[in-house]
Amino acid sequence: MKRWITLAAGVVLMLVGAVWVLQGVGVITGSFMTGQKLWFLIGLAAFLVGVVLIAANFTRRKPTS
């Protein structure tokens, strides 16, 4: 069960981070975040944390019963 939560959190962080990066760069417009370097950096950090969570989820061994 914990593996699914970690995987879901990683996917959500990657998606949200990607949106924030695109808003920070100015690709997605119509928000106060558009064109702001701070949101690019926050999005990049969120995206990378998501990647780490997903990678950790797939490299972790299954517990033995």
The tens digit of pLDDT for each residue in 29-41 reads 998 999 999 999 9
Q: Which of 41, 18, 14, 38 is nearest to 28 (CA)?
A: 18
pLDDT value of residue 62: 72
- In whole numbers, what is the pLDDT of the chain averaged over residues? 92
Answer for the pair 20, 46: CB distance below 8 angstroms, yes or no. Answer: yes
Per-domain residue ranges of the chain:
2-59
Cα–Cα distance for residue pair 13/45, rounded to 1 Å: 9
pTM, entire model: 0.85
Question: E strands within the chain?
Answer: none
Percent of the chain with pLDDT over 70: 95
- On the question of pLDDT at 65 being above 70, the answer is no
Taking only the tens place, the pLDDT of each residue in 4-17 is 999 999 999 999 99
